[in-house]
Structure 1
Amino acid sequence: MGVLGLAIYLRMDPQSNHFIRAAYADEINIYHIICYLLIATGVAVTFIGFLGCCGAFQESRCMLGSVSTVLV
């Protein structure tokens, strides 16, 4: 969740966008793409962790097997 929060902050912070525009005008698209990739990674890891917690709480072998298959 820390990666997700940091990526959303970096994407929405107007000062960091201004700094990137002033320093590297051509690389602003790369900055946004990296932010979106970090957001997607944060969402995926949070979702997998949530499924793992639910599977452990409910003692569901199917859900825990799914989570361990995704993580390998």
Structure 2
Amino acid sequence: MADIEKMYDKMFTDYPDVVSVPQLMKMLSVGRHAAYELVSSGEIQSFKVGKNIRIPKIKVIEYILGARRCCL
């Protein structure tokens, strides 16, 4: 958990604590389909606010750190 807390202070400082799908697309440099697939599959945890999907920034960072560990 300490790694995530350290990275949280350093990664994506220009983004709010909770991001939208278009922001997720920019953060990960992926297209719309890939972003929605990550969210709908549960690979990146999200929640709905009305019709809008919101993603906690910490979950994006956890996803990146997990992907990095698996591929090193």
Q: TM-score, normalised by structure 2?
A: 0.31
More contact order relative to length (CA 8 Å, sep ≥ 6)? 2
Identify, as 1 or 2, the structure richer in strand. 2
Give the helix-richer structure, 1 or 2: 1
Q: TM-score, normalised by structure 1?
A: 0.31
Larger Rg: 1
